[in-house]
């Protein structure tokens, strides 16, 4: 499906150097926005900490029949006569979550109904998730940009990588991603579904769980245009002039919805999640849905 967008000043930012400088200037503000989003969802966010084999203390809990006597913490038990307490360690198996935001030219689009571009929203998704995951002790990575790492300032480190990376319409190679990881991708997914499926095919094997966030500008979805309008594809340079744009509106909306539904069904068949986040809505809405999907996966894997 071809990208459809009005000819706007945004298309002049195609030059790689200009885009790189523009993003470098924007990333600090996007990091601030990502932290603001984090503060709205942090209360309901929890990591994957649970009882298991490890060196770090997790909690005291009452002794139950079947627990090994050697696990009783006698000092803690001595505080309450008649009660025995076991010292649990934390399960140490930091999870790796690969994060990627689409930075292709089509993501620069922003209509007058949205406050941010699709690219800005996608980067906020990734940085906010990086902040939340880093606080939870998870490893994060950006395919083609960083190897997995764990750090309390993980989001800041990722933001620096993004700020200095060259913009590209090329998708990263997903073959490097190993088993038992989560992958979160924020994009407009306006390429033909078959191309997207082929790109993500390496992730369909090996216990990798994928969460797609479709970033949608409300104007792209509703196609409110009338009269003579010229449309421009920022990635191919192709132009299309519609003498009466309203005559193709219904067909366009049907194709747009069918593309989304095909990807949604495909994700569901694989046990993946598919979330739509409109740029005139809150970014936190997408994070809550992704977190729910990731937590559900964790519960199933216990």
- Based on its alpha-carbon atoms, the radius of gyration of the chain, rounded to whole angstroms, reads 23
The confidence band for 53, taking pLDDT boundaries of 50, 70 and 90, is very low
Local structure of residue 81 (DSSP, 8 states): T
Pairwise CA distance, residues 230 & 240, whole Å:
6
Instruction: Please give the helix or strand (H or E) that residue 96 lies within, else none.
Output: strand 96-101
**DSSP for 231-265, written as a single string:** EE-TTT--EEEESSGGGGHHHHHHHHHHHHHHHHH
Q: How far is 268 from 195, CA to CA, in rounded Å? A: 18
What does the pLDDT read at residue 202?
94
DSSP state of 157: H
Distance CA 129, CA 181 (A): 15
Q: Percent of the chain having pLDDT more than 70?
A: 82
CB distance 267 to 210 below 8 Å: yes
Question: How is the chain split into domains, by residue range?
Answer: 9-48+93-301, 57-89
| 82: DSSP letter | T
* Contact assessment for residue 10 and residue 108, using Cβ atoms and an 8 Å cutoff: yes
Ranges 225-229, 244-248, 295-299: which has the least confidence: 295-299
pLDDT band at 6 (very low <50, low <70, confident <90, very high): very low
Confidence (pTM)? 0.77
Phi, psi of 262 (to 5 degrees): -65, -45
pLDDT bucket at 302, cuts 50 / 70 / 90: very low
Cα–Cα distance, 219 to 195 (Å, whole number): 24
């Amino acid at each position: 499906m071809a990208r459809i967008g009005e000819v706007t000043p945004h298309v002049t930012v195609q030059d790689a150097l200009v885009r790189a400088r523009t993003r470098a200037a924007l990333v600090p503000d996007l990091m601030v926005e990502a932290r603001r989003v984090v503060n709205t969802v942090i209360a309901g966010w929890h990591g994957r900490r649970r009882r298991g084999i490890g060196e770090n203390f997790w909690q005291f809990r009452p002794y139950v029949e079947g627990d090994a006597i050697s696990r009783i913490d006698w000092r803690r038990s001595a505080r309450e006569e008649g009660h025995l307490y076991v010292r649990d360690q934390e399960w140490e198996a930091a999870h790796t979550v690969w994060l990627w935001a689409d930075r292709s030219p089509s993501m620069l689009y922003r209509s007058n109904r949205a406050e941010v571009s699709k690219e800005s929203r996608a980067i906020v998704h990734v940085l906010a998730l990086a902040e939340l995951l880093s606080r939870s002790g998870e490893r994060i990575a950006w395919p083609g940009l960083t190897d997995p790492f764990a750090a309390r300032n993980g989001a800041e480190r990722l933001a620096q990588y993004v700020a200095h990376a060259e913009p590209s319409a090329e998708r990263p190679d997903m073959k490097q991603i190993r088993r038992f990881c989560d992958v979160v991708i924020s994009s407009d997914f306006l390429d033909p579904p078959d191309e997207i499926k082929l790109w993500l095919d390496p992730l369909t094997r090996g216990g990798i769980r994928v969460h797609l966030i479709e970033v949608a500008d409300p104007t792209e979805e509703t196609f409110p245009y009338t009269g003579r309008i010229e449309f421009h594809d920022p990635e191919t340079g192709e132009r299309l002039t519609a003498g009466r744009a309203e005559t193709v509106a219904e067909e366009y909306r049907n194709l747009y919805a069918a593309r989304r539904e095909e990807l949604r069904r495909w994700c569901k068949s694989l046990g993946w999640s598919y979330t739509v986040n409109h740029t005139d809505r809150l970014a936190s809405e997408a994070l809550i849905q992704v977190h729910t999907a990731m937590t559900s996966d964790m519960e199933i894997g216990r």
